[in-house]
């Protein structure tokens, strides 16, 4: 079979790599196209690696809608809104606001997809011989303020209502986190049914390798435009024109322009996050620790810790904001991690739809 019979999977982030693997497993001829190596061109490279099976409620909620200002970067929070391009951002924000009032209905659609996430990843990684990339040790949420115990109890009740199991965090974990941060004030919750991966990029590479082993090809090219061509799809790329039998667009925040030719308008915003890494740093637990007061996740990856934070609405190609990794590093030091101030970190864009569905 030639390329003209292939299904083109456009974008080799975690979504494209997982789709390429699933299609080849079912016997489809696949071409995975990306100008970057699998797992290195977008958000899939730099994420926290948390398999968030507890995130069964889509983010838009009335509480966030009316209280978002408390989380703004200027007030020390993780949220940075695009004030300078407000007119372009307004339609997305309007849809986000509308979704906030449909949170219960949207949760009914979203929860069944998210709840089995950690188990599904375990199954997939085992199938491709890469189970070692996954830990099923859950994760922890911790609060280091006097209001922490009340917030932890409220979060446990919310999770119970949503059918997500939690338990009080173990005294050992709380002692380790409190000792590192130099405080006696701590509260925490454990989420036993989640998990994390040890190398987010490695997961993409493993999926792409498994797809190639079943006959997929990986092409280093950028798709510039897609157009219908009879019962086929023409891909105009930076390496010439290709015709394929079908195309699946998985290009993260860069997907919308590729769909335009088909009259599809994907309301995607780039919500950038940052990470800094602490090579060789010992973890406080063999599971991600979420510092709820600081909006930071610290994940133990292979031979390093990765701390992630921020929801920065920005164009993907904008220059990184140096204040963000600097503040992240300073907070990590306050929490007791060894993190030098020259850690410039990484920034990358989450593809986010306004209703999170
Ligand atoms: C800091 C941070 C922390 C996060 N933490 C978590 C977490 O803990 N758990 C979680 O589940 N999610 C997390 N996320 C979100 C998660 O990383 C993303 O939802 C996910 O990686 C999106 O994958 P993707 O394949 O859709 O997009 P991407 O990973 O962005 O991949 C898109 C790919 O498309 C390619 N591409 C772009 N344009 C073209 C083109 N024209 N032709 C061909 N290829 C193209 C790019 O090179 C890229 O490789 C986090 C995100 C960030 C930024």
Domain match, 62 and 118 both: yes
Q: How many CB atoms lie within 10 A of CB 109?
A: 12
347 lines ligand 1 (CB under 6 A): no
Predicted pLDDT at 1: 57
What are the contacts of 124-129 at 24+ separation with CB within 8 A? 124/18, 124/21, 124/207, 125/203, 125/206, 127/25, 127/210, 128/21, 128/206, 128/207, 128/209, 128/210, 129/206, 129/210
Predicted pLDDT at 4: 75
Domain match, 193 and 206 both: no
- Which ligand 1 atom lies nearest to the CA of residue 348? 53
Q: What is the full DSSP assignment across 159-201?
A: HHHTT---EEPPHHHHHHHHHHHT-S--EEEEETT-EEES-HH
Domain match, 206 and 92 both: no
Probe target for ligand 1 pocket from 37, 40, 42, with the most ligand atoms within 8 Å of CB: 42
Of 219, 236, 262, the last residue of a domain is 262
Give the model's confidence band at 6: pLDDT under 50 very low, under 70 low, under 90 confident, else very high: very high
CA of 207 to the centre of ligand 1 (A): 15
Nearest CA owner, ligand 1 atom 2: 47
Please tell me what DSSP assigns to residue 159. Answer: H
Distance CA 224, CA 10 (A): 11
Predicted pLDDT at 343: 74
Domain match, 64 and 29 both: no
Say if residue 266's pLDDT is above 70: yes
Of 323 and 357, which is predicted with more confidence? 323
Probe target for ligand 1 pocket from 18, 37, 48, 55, with the most ligand atoms within 8 Å of CB: 48
Domain match, 153 and 34 both: no
CA of 341 to the centre of ligand 1 (A): 27
Distance CA 22, CA 66 (A): 41
The answer as to whether 284 is a domain residue is yes
* Maximum Cα interatomic distance, the chain, rounded to a whole number of Å: 69
State which residues form the domain around 328: 50-197+268-352
CA of 6 to the centre of ligand 1 (A): 23
Distance CA 213, CA 285 (A): 35
Q: Percentage of residues in the chain with pLDDT exceeding 70?
A: 99
Give the model's confidence band at 2: pLDDT under 50 very low, under 70 low, under 90 confident, else very high: low
Domain match, 163 and 86 both: yes
Q: Residue 38: which CATH number?
A: 3.50.50.60
Domain match, 301 and 174 both: yes
Helix (H) / strand (E) element for 90: namely helix 86-100
Nearest CA owner, ligand 1 atom 51: 47
Domain match, 334 and 222 both: no
| Total of domains in the chain | 2
- Which ligand 1 atom lies nearest to the CA of residue 273? 1
173 lines ligand 1 (CB under 6 A): no
Predicted pLDDT at 240: 96
Domain match, 62 and 210 both: no
Give the model's confidence band at 162: pLDDT under 50 very low, under 70 low, under 90 confident, else very high: very high
Give the model's confidence band at 3: pLDDT under 50 very low, under 70 low, under 90 confident, else very high: confident
48 lines ligand 1 (CB under 6 A): yes
Q: Residue 282: which CATH number?
A: 3.30.9.10
Domain match, 297 and 163 both: yes
Q: Answer yes or no: are the C-beta atoms of 191 and 169 closer than 8 Å.
A: no
Of 246, 262, 278, the last residue of a domain is 262
If you average pLDDT over every residue of the chain, what do you get?
A: 96
Give the ipTM: 0.99
Domain match, 28 and 54 both: no
The answer as to whether 357 is a domain residue is no
289-291 and 139-143: which strand pairing? Answer: parallel
Say if residue 35's pLDDT is above 70: yes
Give the model's confidence band at 244: pLDDT under 50 very low, under 70 low, under 90 confident, else very high: very high
Residues in the chain: 357
Nearest CA owner, ligand 1 atom 10: 50
Question: For the purposes of burial, counting CB atoms within 10 Å of the CB of 334, is it exposed (0-12), middle (13-18) or buried (19 or more)?
Answer: middle
304-313 and 346-352: which strand pairing? Answer: unpaired
Predicted pLDDT at 342: 74
49 lines ligand 1 (CB under 6 A): yes
Nearest CA owner, ligand 1 atom 21: 44
Domain match, 217 and 76 both: no
Predicted pLDDT at 276: 97
Of 262, 278, 310, the last residue of a domain is 262
CA of 45 to the centre of ligand 1 (A): 7
């Amino acid at each position: 079979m030639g390329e003209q019979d292939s299904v083109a999977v456009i974008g080799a982030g975690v979504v494209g790599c997982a789709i390429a693997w699933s299609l080849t497993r079912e016997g489809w001829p696949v071409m995975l196209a990306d100008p970057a190596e699998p797992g290195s061109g977008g958000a899939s490279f730099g994420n926290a690696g948390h398999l968030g099976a507890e995130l069964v409620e889509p983010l838009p909620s009335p509480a966030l809608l009316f209280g978002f200002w408390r989380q703004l970067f200027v007030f020390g929070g993780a949220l940075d809104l695009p004030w300078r391009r407000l007119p372009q951002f307004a339609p997305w924000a309007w849809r986000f606001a509308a979704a906030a009032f449909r949170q219960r209905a949207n949760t009914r659609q979203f929860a069944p997809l998210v709840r089995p996430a950690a188990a599904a990843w375990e199954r997939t990684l085992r199938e491709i011989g890469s189970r070692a990339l996954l830990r099923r040790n859950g994760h922890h949420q911790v609060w280091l303020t006097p209001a922490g115990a009340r917030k932890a109890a409220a979060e446990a009740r919310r999770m119970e209502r949503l059918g997500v199991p939690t338990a009080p965090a173990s005294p050992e974990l709380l002692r380790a986190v409190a000792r590192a941060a130099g405080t006696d004030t701590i509260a925490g919750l454990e989420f036993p049914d989640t998990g994390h991966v040890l190398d987010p990029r490695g997961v993409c590479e493993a999926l792409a390798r498994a797809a190639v082993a079943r006959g997929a090809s990986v092409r280093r090219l950028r798709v510039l435009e897609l157009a219908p061509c009879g019962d086929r799809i023409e891909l105009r790329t930076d390496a010439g024109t290709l015709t394929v039998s079908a195309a699946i667009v998985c290009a993260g925040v860069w997907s919308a322009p590729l769909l335009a030719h088909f009259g599809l308008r994907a309301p995607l915003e780039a919500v950038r996050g940052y990470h800094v890494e602490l090579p060789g740093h010992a973890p406080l637990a063999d599971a991600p620790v979420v510092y709820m007061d600081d909006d930071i996740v610290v994940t133990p990856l292979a031979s390093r810790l990765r701390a992630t934070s921020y929801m920065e609405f920005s164009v993907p190609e904008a220059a990184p904001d140096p204040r963000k990794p600097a503040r992240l590093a300073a907070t990590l030091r306050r929490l007791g991690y060894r993190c030098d101030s020259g850690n410039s970190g990484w920034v990358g864009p989450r593809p986010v739809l306004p209703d999170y569905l």
